[in-house]
Amino acid sequence: MLKIQVKEGENIERALKRYKRKFVKTTVKNQLQERKQFTKPSVERRALIKKAQYIQSLRDAENV
């Protein structure tokens, strides 16, 4: 459970913004999206390999 302390005289929109930022940082949103739909293990592996290739290409381009 996320709790945000609203300071004295603080605008409610500002407190909501802090709450949303904290919510995204705790990766709760990602977990909820993953549980919403099943992805096959082969698709997950393929995505990891694709991401690794992309990162490697960026590093290779940086070293050139």
pLDDT in tens, 11-37: 999 999 999 888 888 888 788 888 898
Comparing C-alpha atoms, which of 27, 23, 33, 29 is closest to residue 2?
23
pLDDT over 80 at 1, yes or no = no
pTM of the model: 0.48
In a domain, 4, yes or no: no
In a domain, 17, yes or no: yes
In a domain, 57, yes or no: yes
In a domain, 2, yes or no: no
In a domain, 7, yes or no: no
Domain count, the chain: 1
Residue 3: its pLDDT value, please? 85
Range of the domain at 35: 12-63
Residue 56: its pLDDT value, please? 96
Comparing C-alpha atoms, which of 2, 1, 33, 26 is closest to residue 15?
2
In a domain, 21, yes or no: yes
In a domain, 3, yes or no: no
In a domain, 6, yes or no: no
- The answer to whether the beta carbons of residues 2 and 23 sit under 8 Å apart is yes
Start-to-end CA span in the chain (Å)? 47
